């Protein structure tokens, strides 16, 4: 009886130990995939508005996950107009990618609009000083986009209303009158050209006759 109980306790303990071992293995593998076991360094970024960015959000450079958001909180005092401080955990192996001027932009991903930070290289500004807080780029929220589209729609509606008030019939009549005036003017010019051509011919004939008389010395015989 005691041997049976010992075997039962033994197998129960062995089962628990195997379960705990497997659990730690799963945690280790997941942590390794998430970079929990990799060495990191921290960067502080100040934002005016984080648009719902949360702790644990991914950080990417050219689509590669290089870290995650460690914390999001308010500053005790605004710095350069920014009031939110975001602490970033960046893997040490990506430190070289942050030696150039860069922008830290909050973006949305997927249908649900999950937030992340995209680090993009900038062509302006000095190299990053990772020991000092960095000024994050102002992001455009969905509300801002909606406001812009609403303003564009209002402007389009107003332009359509203004166009609808134009008397196109009156404009067509003015254009028709202008066309008739141009036609009449062109006719008048054509008649003047014909008359000038006729006068030119008569003048040429008279000159030719005068030249002929001069040659025959008949023009001055009356003298």
Contact partners, residue 134, CB within 8 Å, separation at least 6: 43, 44, 45, 46, 104, 128
DSSP lists the bridge partners of residue 120 as 103
160 within domain boundaries: no
> What are the Cα distances from residue 136, in Å, to 21, 71, 87, 125?
43, 15, 12, 13
Q: How far apart are CA 111 and CA 215, in angstroms?
A: 104
**Average pLDDT of 189-194?**
78
Q: Give the pLDDT score at 61.
A: 92
pLDDT of 192 over the 60 cut: yes
CB atoms within 10 A of CB 102: 18
Q: Which domain holds residue 111?
A: 40-137
Q: Which two tokens stand for residue 37?
A: 């076991």
> Is 184 part of any domain?
no
Residue 89 is assigned to a structural domain of this protein: yes
Number of domains in the chain: 1
- Residue 161: is its pLDDT beyond 70? no
Cβ contacts of 128 within 8 Å, gap of 6 or more:
98, 99, 100, 101, 102, 134
Q: Taking residues 143-150, what's their average pLDDT?
A: 60
182 versus 41: the higher-pLDDT residue is 41
Q: What is the pTM of this model?
A: 0.51
Q: Express each pLDDT in 47-105 by its tens digit.
A: 999 988 999 999 999 989 999 999 999 998 988 889 999 999 999 999 888 888 899 99
pLDDT at 151: 73
Is 126 within a domain? yes
Mean pLDDT along residues 33-46: 77
Assigned domain for 106 exists = yes
Q: Is residue 223 part of a domain?
A: no
Average pLDDT, the chain: 77
CA-CA distance, 104 to 58, in Å (whole number)? Answer: 12
């Amino acid at each position: 009886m005691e041997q049976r109980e010992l075997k039962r306790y033994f197998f129960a303990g062995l089962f628990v130990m195997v379960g705990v071992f497997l659990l730690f293995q799963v945690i280790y593998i997941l942590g390794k995939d998430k970079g929990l076991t990799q060495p990191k360094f921290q960067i502080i970024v100040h934002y005016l508005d984080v648009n719902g960015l949360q702790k644990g959000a991914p950080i990417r450079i050219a689509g590669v996950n290089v870290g995650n958001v460690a914390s999001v909180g308010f500053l005790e005092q605004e710095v350069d107009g920014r009031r939110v401080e975001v602490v970033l955990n960046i893997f040490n192996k990506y430190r070289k990618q942050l030696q150039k001027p860069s922008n830290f932009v909050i973006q949305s991903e997927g249908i649900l609009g999950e937030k992340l930070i995209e680090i993009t290289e900038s062509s302006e500004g000095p190299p990053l000083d990772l020991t000092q807080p960095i000024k994050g780029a102002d992001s455009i929220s969905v509300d801002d986009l909606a406001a812009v589209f609403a303003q564009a729609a209002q402007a389009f509606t107003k332009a359509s209303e203004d166009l609808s008030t134009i008397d196109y019939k009156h404009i067509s009549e003015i254009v028709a009158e202008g066309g008739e005036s141009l036609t009449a003017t062109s006719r008048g010019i054509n008649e003047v050209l014909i008359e000038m051509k006729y006068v030119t011919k008569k003048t040429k004939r008279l000159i030719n006759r005068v030249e002929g008389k001069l040659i025959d010395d008949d023009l001055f015989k009356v003298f």
